[in-house]
Amino acid sequence: MTTPGTAEHPLRVAIVGAGPSGFYAAGHLLKNKQMPELVAQVDMFDRLPTPWGLVRGGVAPDHPKIKSVSRVYEKTAALEGFRFFGNVELGRDISREELREHYHVIIYAFGAETDRKMGIDGEDLPGSWAATEFVAWYNGHPDYRELEFDLSHKRAVVIGNGNVAVDVARMLALTEAELAVTDIADHALDVLRASKLEEIVIVGRRGPAQAAFTTPELLELGELADADIVVDPTEIALDEHSERALDDTDATRKRNLEVMKQYAERTPTGKRKRVILRFLSSPVTIVGEQGVEAIELVRNELRPGDDGSLRAHATDERETLEAGLVFRSIGYRGIPIDSVPFDDRAGTIPNQSGRVLDPDTDAHLPGEYAVGWIKRGPTGVIGTNKKDAQETVDAIVEDVREGRLPDPTDPDPETVVELLNERAPNHVDYSGWQAIDAAEQAAGTAQDRPRVKLTTFEELIAAAVASRDGAGSR
């Protein structure tokens, strides 16, 4: 067995998922601070023809500054030893076993692609959507291109009090002029510009002091061009437990409370839409025959749980809110892929500091690691994934040093390309992505927008293929 990581025997690494966590892991490996002499070759796979994960498919179109983090990932992609293989899906085009044959290390970075369910009657009625679907649709994710959102109703209800709930509400409240300067998918722009919505109600199951959204996002709701923010003062009056816990409440939540107090003092200015914040209410049933007509909510009270955190408990008080649309925004969820170990309860890959564990023995599966949302669950901002990836890469470096990595039977970088040419002839290399990027940006320049997204696999692949001949796999 040869210790990999030298110029003669580079450490061969497969990263599955080209989102922030995958890119931070690639960056930490290709420029390793702990072991600067480490020579690594990173092949990154993504099921989409495009990289950046939720930075392209999740971050709201009106947040271009946040999206510019992709420049950091572009620098990683330019490092010696990096290759990108887009439109290659683990479990469809290549298997875990095949990756083990070709690489010393596999890093799973495939995020949390689905949503959590509320588990209530009526959840599957037309008009009841997961935030994951709406977000992917307005961001031009090719899997969601064909969804049809009927925005001819007056009221939409968004369940959940996280930043995604705020994104969904804001996207529903923005004006055509506010949207038209973004990189929102054209099909979504068409539907949102014709929206008849007048009211978007965001409903939290706990109180204002427990809301998970962050203050800049809350402040944006107060600055919308044609939507008033409405907060009833009684909704933000703290219950006795929240009041008592106030000293221990973190700074963000305290600032949120201040902002909400200011909102409660505002008089609506008669803007075309209203965004209303409601608290201490949980959905019980979504009511309707052919589609969503209303949502029944139950009033909650907060009680301390065994761990001291305040939990929502239903009271007998119920109300029915007429609405034609319901978006559940109660968290994303990882999905099991191929034979990769999966903890169904947590929706993550079982791991210890990033080392993937055998679910039967709890022992580390040599050479297999996880990063990002599939490692720790669907929470945390983009930057959280940097430290998270560092932890995993530190574990990898330790395993290199200790000689714990298995030897792949076929580490030749070219045989992977041959396999993909056979299995996934439409795979997109990095220059293919650059061609897509250039085409989208050129279309955007013509409209004074950052880019006009290509939103079907066919369009994306056609744009990539134009650059393909003789370009290799970089």
Ligand X SMILES: Cc1cc2nc3c(=O)[nH]c(=O)nc-3n(C[C@H](O)[C@H](O)[C@H](O)COP(=O)(O)OP(=O)(O)OC[C@H]3O[C@@H](n4cnc5c(N)ncnc54)[C@H](O)[C@@H]3O)c2cc1C
Ligand Y SMILES: NC(=O)c1ccc[n+]([C@@H]2O[C@H](COP(=O)([O-])OP(=O)(O)OC[C@H]3O[C@@H](n4cnc5c(N)ncnc54)[C@H](OP(=O)(O)O)[C@@H]3O)[C@@H](O)[C@H]2O)c1
Residues that bind ligand Y (CB under 6 A): 118, 159-165, 167, 204-206, 210, 212, 214, 217, 282, 329-332, 378-381
C-beta of 131 vs 452, nearer to ligand X: 131
257 binds, options ligand X, ligand Y, none, Cβ within 5 to 8 A by partner type: none
Alpha helix (H) residue ranges in 341-383: 373-376
Contact 191, 357 (CB under 8 A): no
Question: What is the Cα–Cα distance from 105 to 30, expressed in whole angstroms?
Answer: 13
Q: Which of residues 131-150 bind ligand X (CB under 6 A)?
A: 135
Is residue 44 close enough to count as binding ligand X by CB under 6 A? no
Question: What is the Cα–Cα distance from 258 to 49, expressed in whole angstroms?
Answer: 44
C-beta of 4 vs 17, nearer to ligand X: 17
Residues 6+ away with beta carbon under 8 Å from 94: 45, 88, 419, 420, 423, 424
CB of 184 to ligand Y, least distance (A): 16
333-362 footprint of ligand X as x/- string (CB under 6 A): ----x-------------------------
Question: What is the Cα–Cα distance from 77 to 56, expressed in whole angstroms?
Answer: 16
Choose among 443, 440, 345: nearest CA to 52: 440
Choose among 98, 124, 24: nearest CA to 382: 24
Question: What is the Cα–Cα distance from 474 to 456, expressed in whole angstroms?
Answer: 23
Residues 6+ away with beta carbon under 8 Å from 155: 197, 198, 199, 200, 201, 321, 322, 323, 324, 325
Residue 281, classed as helix, strand or coil, is strand
CB of 214 to ligand Y, least distance (A): 6
Residues 6+ away with beta carbon under 8 Å from 440: 183, 451, 452, 453, 454, 463
111 binds, options ligand Y, ligand X, none, Cβ within 5 to 8 A by partner type: ligand X
Q: Please provide residue 376's backbone torsions phi and psi, each rounded to the nearest 5 degrees.
A: -120, 0
Question: What is the Cα–Cα distance from 308 to 66, expressed in whole angstroms?
Answer: 35
C-beta of 26 vs 54, nearer to ligand Y: 54
Contact 104, 369 (CB under 8 A): no
C-beta of 335 vs 381, nearer to ligand Y: 381
313-332 footprint of ligand X as x/- string (CB under 6 A): -------------------x
Contact 242, 209 (CB under 8 A): yes
48 binds, options ligand X, ligand Y, none, Cβ within 5 to 8 A by partner type: ligand X
C-beta of 279 vs 433, nearer to ligand Y: 279
Q: Which one among 4, 5, 10, 19 touches ligand X, defined by CB under 6 A?
A: 19
Question: What is the Cα–Cα distance from 416 to 102, expressed in whole angstroms?
Answer: 7
Q: Which one among 15, 30, 59, 330 touches ligand X, defined by CB under 6 A?
A: 59
Q: Do the bridges between strand 40-46 and strand 227-230 make them parallel or antiparallel, or are there none, so unpaired? A: unpaired
CB of 310 to ligand Y, least distance (A): 9
Contact 196, 271 (CB under 8 A): no
C-beta of 173 vs 297, nearer to ligand X: 173
Is residue 89 close enough to count as binding ligand X by CB under 6 A? yes
Tokens of 96: 């875990």
CB of 281 to ligand Y, least distance (A): 9
CB of 79 to ligand X, least distance (A): 18
Is residue 18 close enough to count as binding ligand X by CB under 6 A? yes
Residues facing 303 on adjacent strands: 311
Residue 319, classed as helix, strand or coil, is strand
CB of 120 to ligand Y, least distance (A): 9
C-beta of 53 vs 207, nearer to ligand X: 53
C-beta of 210 vs 473, nearer to ligand Y: 210
C-beta of 110 vs 149, nearer to ligand X: 110
29 binds, options ligand X, ligand Y, none, Cβ within 5 to 8 A by partner type: none
153-192 footprint of ligand X as x/- string (CB under 6 A): -----------x--x-------------------------
CB of 315 to ligand X, least distance (A): 31
CB of 330 to ligand Y, least distance (A): 4
Interface with ligand X (CB under 6 A), residue total 36
Q: Which one among 17, 49, 160, 331 touches ligand X, defined by CB under 6 A?
A: 17
